[in-house]
Amino acid sequence: MSHLLEVKDLKKHFPLKRSWLGASTGRVHAVDGVSFHVERGETLSLVGESGCGKSTVGRSILRLFDLTEGEVRLDGERIDNLSPRQLRPVRQKLQVVFQDPFASLNPRLTVREALAEPISNFESGVTSEAMQSRVDKLLDLVRLPRDAGRRYPHEFSGGQRQRICIARALASKPKLVICDEAVSALDVSVKAQIVNLLQDLQDELGLALLFISHDLGIVEHMTHRVAVMYLGRIVEQGTAQRIFAAPKHPYTQALLSAAPGNAKAGKRIVLKGDVPSPVTPPQGCHFHTRCPYAFDRCRVEAPRLENQGDGHLAACHLQALPV
Ligand code: SF4
């Protein structure tokens, strides 16, 4: 059986604005050859610092813009080359929850109307009684009272609004939900409640989640696998257990050493310099300008993402050296 989601060599480059002389001023290499898959009912977390390209990966899968190169398959079907009309049935299976719940909801629609909208977009002939019961069921699923349906988004707290966005994403009965920094704007305690809710929904509905986050602390307790991104590329990928217990890539080691509340972290690794510009990413290993272990080969040859055992992948020349 095919993977639920399969992303192969995805590249997304954005052209920079032209100069006043009309010459192109380069391209932002936001995503530079990323491959991964998500299984049915699984959570894969895509993590990395802001600007590493993780949200661009999510938006490319959603086809909010066209890919520069690569393939995306959902349920075995290639979706990166579909027309907007052909994408309609795909959108039923693939939904998203963004970071800002207020911006995602129409302030003029009651919660009931906001939840009914995707149902009537994807299904025809739903009677008003059936619609009422579907909306009630969605409110139950996200643990909101049924009378919440009569109210407007501004009457809710940030956490409650995010529950409404999750209910709206679930209205079309998707197989995969992309959570793009979906808990980043929430208070710590509310964050934990929403993460618990997502885990419960996954168990209840068999949902798959692509959880995009810069917050490694949140990811550790809710994800099955992790893919770590740096400057448009995946540098490490594996089960949460392996990545958090024994990270192999120097960048992942640095990220984990800085994660708040990470009891397993040893001494904090402070990386030198800033993340280089994605307009002119460094040759060879993108991380070599900040890596404490960089050697000559790193500056000329990009390391491949290779299996280090049991499906734990890392892109680092050090892992290929004989011990
Ligand atoms: Fe560091 Fe070289 Fe490994 Fe890149 S390939 S992470 S620069 S040691």
Q: In whole angstroms, what is the distance from residue 302 CA to residue 290 CA?
A: 15
Determine the 3-state secondary structure of 234 from DSSP.
Answer: strand
Q: In whole angstroms, what is the distance from residue 138 CA to residue 112 CA?
A: 10
Q: In whole angstroms, what is the distance from residue 44 CA to residue 58 CA?
A: 12
Residue boundaries of the structural domains of the chain: 5-16+25-93+174-320, 99-173
pLDDT digits (tens, 9 = 90+) for 279-319: 999 999 999 999 999 999 999 999 999 999 888 999 999 98
Q: In whole angstroms, what is the distance from residue 283 CA to residue 285 CA?
A: 6
Pocket test for ligand 1, best of 228, 293, 296 (most atoms within 8 A of CB): 293
Residue 264 pLDDT greater than 70, yes or no = no
pLDDT digits (tens, 9 = 90+) for 88-118: 999 999 999 999 887 889 999 999 999 999 9
DSSP letter for 70, please: E
Nearest atom in ligand 1 to the alpha carbon of residue 251 is 6
Ligand 1 center to residue 290 CA distance, Å?
A: 9
Q: Name the closest-CA residue to atom 5, ligand 1.
A: 316
Contact yes or no for 127/162 (Cβ under 8 A): no
Quickly list H helices, 206-302.
216-220, 240-245, 250-258, 296-300
pLDDT-derived band of residue 16, with 50, 70 and 90 as boundaries?
confident
Average pLDDT of the chain? Answer: 93
Q: Check if 250 has its Cβ closer than 6 Å to any atom of ligand 1.
A: yes
First to last CA, the chain: 38
Q: In whole angstroms, what is the distance from residue 101 CA to residue 109 CA?
A: 14
Name the CATH superfamily, with its identifier, for domain 5-16+25-93+174-320. P-loop containing nucleotide triphosphate hydrolases (3.40.50.300)
pLDDT digits (tens, 9 = 90+) for 270-279: 888 888 999 9
Contact yes or no for 49/275 (Cβ under 8 A): yes
Ligand 1 center to residue 90 CA distance, Å?
A: 39
Ligand 1 center to residue 291 CA distance, Å?
A: 6
Ligand 1 center to residue 41 CA distance, Å?
A: 34
pLDDT digits (tens, 9 = 90+) for 202-260: 999 999 999 999 988 889 889 999 999 999 999 999 999 999 999 999 999 999 988 76
Q: Check if 79 has its Cβ closer than 6 Å to any atom of ligand 1.
A: no
Q: In whole angstroms, what is the distance from residue 77 CA to residue 164 CA?
A: 30
Determine the 3-state secondary structure of 306 from DSSP.
Answer: strand
Q: Measuring CA to CA, how many Å separate 89 from each of 62, 79, 109, 270, 312?
A: 13, 11, 24, 47, 34
